[in-house]
Structure 1
Amino acid sequence: MTDRTLKGKNVLIAGGAKNLGGLIARQAAEAGADVAIHYNSDASRGDAEETLAAVRDAGRNGVIIQGDLTDPANIARLFTEATSAIGTIDVAVNTVGKVLRKPIVETTESEYDEMFDVNAKAAYFFLQEAGKNVADDGKVITIVTALLGAFTDGYSTYAGGKSPVEHFTRAAAKEFADRRISVTAVAPGPMDTPFFYGQETPERVEFHKSQAMGGQLTQIEDIAPIVRFLATEGWWITGQTLFANGGYTTR
């Protein structure tokens, strides 16, 4: 698939109800795709329904599917239900993540377990099911974090939980290559969403802004087109982590 559109394709988005995932879902529909929208809990069902309505307003078919993706059985069910509703998945995007800013000496075992379950385990088994279910010539894209290239405090379990995804991505890219499935990760800078603000003080927010072009945080509108590019013309990029953060950090 080398064109700019997703016409006739089927896209599954984990965490697709709102924020970045919701925008990716809307843009996929505008580009011609049918869309399966995953959401985690009842608290985000309303957002999922709004995003589904936008997909349908764009003239495309869609479905919403709930599930806790820290349980691999729910990931398998997600792919099964999505395929049943819209057809074989061509593009699978995982935006699921959980952030925690807390010193190592204060982090509990349960917090550690939850962070790695959400950020690493769910990502691993999403890739596993994508490898089983995504069509030949498909695309698999995971959202990680620019903190993978940062030297900072406080985010040991968030950046630590996301860091294995780079290794998962590289392995999957090799293992799925004979079917021409590209596998990539995108590492945004701190994004201007509620996901970010709950962890930071106003002073630290201003510091994060100062580290990128224009003195601003990453916008979801900066990242969604990159995902769309990877799902179309950018298919030759595989096994890579793309640091899309306005110069916030690199390696």
Structure 2
Amino acid sequence: MTSSTDRVAIVTGGSGGIGRVSVERLARDGLAVVVHYAGNKDRADETVASVVDAGGRAIAVGGDVADEHRMGAVFDAAEQEFGGVDVLVHTAGIMPLSPIAQLDLDTFDRVQRTNVRGTFVVDQLAAKRMRAGGAIVNFSTSVTRLQIPGYGAYAASKGAVEALTLILARELRGRDITVNAVSPGPTATPLFFEGKTPEQIDGIAGANPMGRLGTPEDIAEMVSFLAGPARWVNGQVLYVNGGAA
């Protein structure tokens, strides 16, 4: 495996929430980072600036995560700017909530396109183009175990992400590339807070054995581990949720 100062990471959804904190953590670990964004270029540029101001290396590249041509260009940029790709951290996803009986099918299709097809697209590119010693870190959710009403479409998409993760890990036999999925529990990000009352947020935090919500930094700690020293962790779904059932 190349040294951390020679390693290059692509972080999808790297302009906010868990993605941004993961970018900053990987940069502190010595990796050059490609900050992928879907629509918010200004926020991605701010993330890049925070890395560069701290002495790191980063660029921002936009694109629809489910578009293989746009995401191919993200990998092209990583190779042209930094020499290759060693780590993929795929945080990009959407989470509209609705009971299954009331969910509009167009919304269901949009969730599956972004979360399932998007994962397939970037994982396929990584499988073809990642250097030996690499690490693919997909994102699932603890909701696949918690079965919270309203999360049907999202949990279904993340169940598919877990299946892709476990199969790809075995398909990459002999490549020295690990493939794992991180499954956060409720985490204090804008995506989590959207549409919830203060009472709901307090209830969710209080139900956790640790008595709080997770933070993006908690999740980035696992990303750093899987992207770097965790060479014997492969084909796993790791629940990072403070002990939520």
Q: Percent identity of the aligned residues?
A: 32
Q: In the alignment, what sits opposite 1:6?
A: 4
Q: In the alignment, what sits opposite 1:113?
A: 109
Q: Give the partner amino acid of 1:123.
A: T
1:116–1:161 contact (8 Å) kept in structure 2: yes
Q: In the alignment, what sits opposite 2:162?
A: 166
Task: Report the TM-score when normalising by structure 2.
Answer: 0.95
Q: Give the partner amino acid of 1:8.
A: D
Q: In the alignment, what sits opposite 1:79?
A: 75
Q: Equivalents in 2 of 1:228, 1:25: separation in Å?
A: 10
Q: Give the partner amino acid of 1:178.
A: G
Please report how far the alpha carbon of residue 57 of structure 1 lies from its aligned counterpart in structure 2 after TM superposition.
Answer: 2.0
Q: Equivalents in 2 of 1:98, 1:46: separation in Å?
A: 19
> What SS class does the counterpart of residue 110 from structure 2 fall into?
helix
The superposition leaves residues 186-242 of structure 1 with CA deviations (integer Å, 9 ceiling, x where unpaired) of 000111011011132333222211221332111111110111011111121111100
The superposition leaves residues 113-147 of structure 1 with CA deviations (integer Å, 9 ceiling, x where unpaired) of 10111111101111100101110110000121110
Q: In the alignment, what sits opposite 1:236?
A: 232
> What SS class does the counterpart of residue 106 from structure 2 fall into?
helix
The answer to whether residue 145 in structure 2 is matched with residue 153 in structure 1 is: no
Q: Equivalents in 2 of 1:61, 1:12: separation in Å?
A: 12
Q: Equivalents in 2 of 1:47, 1:113: separation in Å?
A: 27
Please report how far the alpha carbon of residue 151 of structure 1 lies from its aligned counterpart in structure 2 after TM superposition.
Answer: 2.3
Q: Equivalents in 2 of 1:204, 1:72: separation in Å?
A: 38
Q: In the alignment, what sits opposite 1:180?
A: 176
The superposition leaves residues 44-81 of structure 1 with CA deviations (integer Å, 9 ceiling, x where unpaired) of 21211111112212323221001011222222221112
Q: Equivalents in 1 of 2:133, 2:150: separation in Å?
A: 39
Aligned length: 245
Q: Cα gap change, 1:205/1:54 in structure 2, threshold over 3 Å: closer, same or farther?
A: same
Alignment of 1:175-214 (within 5 A): 175-214=171-210
Point out where structure 2 has 5 or more consecutive residues left out of the alignment. Answer: none
Alignment of 1:50-61 (within 5 A): 50-61=46-57
Q: Equivalents in 2 of 1:97, 1:166: separation in Å?
A: 14
> What SS class does the counterpart of residue 152 from structure 1 fall into?
coil
Q: In the alignment, what sits opposite 1:220?
A: 216
1:9–1:90 contact (8 Å) kept in structure 2: yes
Match of 1:19 among 12, 17, 36: 17
Q: Equivalents in 2 of 1:71, 1:167: separation in Å?
A: 21
Please report how far the alpha carbon of residue 30 of structure 1 lies from its aligned counterpart in structure 2 after TM superposition.
Answer: 1.3
Q: Equivalents in 2 of 1:235, 1:74: separation in Å?
A: 30
Please report how far the alpha carbon of residue 169 of structure 1 lies from its aligned counterpart in structure 2 after TM superposition.
Answer: 0.5
Please report how far the alpha carbon of residue 167 of structure 1 lies from its aligned counterpart in structure 2 after TM superposition.
Answer: 0.8
Q: Equivalents in 1 of 2:51, 2:181: separation in Å?
A: 24
1:36–1:86 contact (8 Å) kept in structure 2: no
Alignment of 1:74-153 (within 5 A): 74-153=70-149
CA RMSD of aligned residues (A): 1.5
Q: Give the partner amino acid of 2:114.
A: V
> What SS class does the counterpart of residue 34 from structure 2 fall into?
strand
Q: Equivalents in 1 of 2:151, 2:94: separation in Å?
A: 11
Q: Equivalents in 2 of 1:56, 1:198: separation in Å?
A: 30
Please report how far the alpha carbon of residue 95 of structure 1 lies from its aligned counterpart in structure 2 after TM superposition.
Answer: 0.4
Q: Equivalents in 2 of 1:107, 1:142: separation in Å?
A: 26
The answer to whether residue 44 in structure 2 is matched with residue 48 in structure 1 is: yes
Task: Report the TM-score when normalising by structure 1.
Answer: 0.93
